[in-house]
């Protein structure tokens, strides 16, 4: 299984600011995914990040709000822009193994005041 | 469309057996995964079924029936530490594989 780390693990931010979350994997992976989990809810896929191409966003999520970078096969960032309290969530990155198993990072717990 | 349904809550006692069911919409379905998530933690992979039938991993087993668009997670010899949320998640193929999660089942194990 892949070992995934995320930074920061948690943050408290002011309304209107932006936060960039980093995701690092210990092996090269083709696809990385970003999910959001609002309090008490399930996981919702934000976008798929492929190296060398623009991220593919799910319905309800747009690049201006959640810009994603994928500079190489072991790293990705998700930025939450112009934050509001509704953006308070856990943000998780994940990767798919060669056996179609998806593994998750520890998550970034974001609180927007 | 792509959606999954599972019960919101299940309660059981230590040592018992629990089955958590999951039904899904089939458009582009590729396989079914199960994840465990403790409060404050990240989802942890439990099992993945790409083919019909039963997969057993220790006390946990997972089953898939493609013809019924149905699967379940079976937890045996329940322990207090099994109290957590359990998510079924369907892998859908559409140019790239993506995992869509059910709403989750909160399992409470009592002494």
Minimum-distance CB partner of A100 among B35, B50, B104: B50
The stretch A103-108 carries a mean pLDDT of 95
pLDDT on residue B81: 96
Q: For the segment B89-107, what is each residue's pLDDT rounded down to a tens digit? A: 998 776 567 888 999 999 9
**Contact criterion met (CB < 8 Å) for A50 and B89:** no
User: What pLDDT is attached to residue A60?
Assistant: 94
pLDDT score for B30: 86
Q: B48: nearest CA in chain A?
A: A101
> Residue A3 pLDDT more than 70?
yes
Please count the other Cβ atoms lying within 10 Å of the Cβ belonging to residue A82: 11
**Which tokens go with A87?**
């953006």
pLDDT on residue A69? 94
Phi-psi region of B32 (alpha: psi -120 to 50; beta: other; left: phi over 0): beta
**Amino acid B28: pLDDT:** 80
pLDDT at A47 exceeding the cut of 90? yes
Give the pLDDT of residue B99. 86
Structural contact between residues B67 and B86, judged by C-beta atoms closer than 8 angstroms: no
Question: What integer pLDDT is reported at residue A2 of this predicted model?
Answer: 84
Tens of pLDDT, residue by residue over B6-42, are 999 999 999 999 999 999 987 788 899 999 999 989 9
Give every CB contact of residue A96 below 8 A, 6+ residues apart in sequence. Answer: A29, A30, A31, A33, A102, B97
H helical segments located in chain A: none
Buried b (16+ CB within 10 A) or exposed e, B97-108: bbbbbbbbbbbe
Peptide bond into A8 cis (omega under 30): yes
Residue A85's nearest CA partner among A10, A6, A13 is A13
3-state secondary structure of B82: helix
Which residues of chain B from 51 to 80 reach within 8 Å of chain A, CB to CB?
A: none
Instruction: Return the closest-CA partner of residue A102 out of A7, A9, A28, A31.
Output: A31
Average pLDDT, chain A: 93
């Amino acid at each position: 299984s892949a070992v995934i780390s995320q930074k920061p693990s948690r943050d408290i931010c002011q309304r209107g600011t932006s936060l960039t979350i980093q995701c690092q994997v210990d092996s090269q992976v083709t696809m990385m995914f970003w999910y959001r989990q609002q309090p008490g809810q399930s996981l919702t896929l934000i976008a798929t990040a492929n190296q060398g191409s623009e991220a593919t966003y799910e319905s309800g999520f747009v690049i201006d709000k959640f810009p994603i970078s994928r500079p190489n096969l072991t790293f990705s960032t998700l930025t939450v822009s112009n934050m509001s309290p509704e953006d308070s969530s856990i943000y998780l990155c994940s990767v798919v193994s060669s056996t179609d198993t998806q593994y998750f990072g520890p998550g970034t717990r974001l609180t927007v005041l | 469309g792509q959606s999954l349904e599972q019960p919101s809550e299940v309660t059981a006692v230590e040592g018992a057996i629990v089955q958590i069911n999951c039904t899904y919409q089939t458009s582009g379905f590729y396989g079914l995964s199960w994840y465990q998530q403790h409060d404050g933690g990240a989802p942890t992979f439990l099992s993945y079924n790409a083919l019909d039938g039963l997969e057993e991993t220790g006390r946990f087993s997972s089953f898939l029936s493609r013809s019924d668009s149905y699967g379940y997670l079976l937890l045996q010899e329940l322990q207090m530490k099994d109290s957590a949320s359990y998510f079924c998640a369907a892998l859908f193929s559409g140019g790239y594989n993506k995992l869509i999660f059910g709403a989750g089942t909160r399992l409470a194990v009592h002494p």
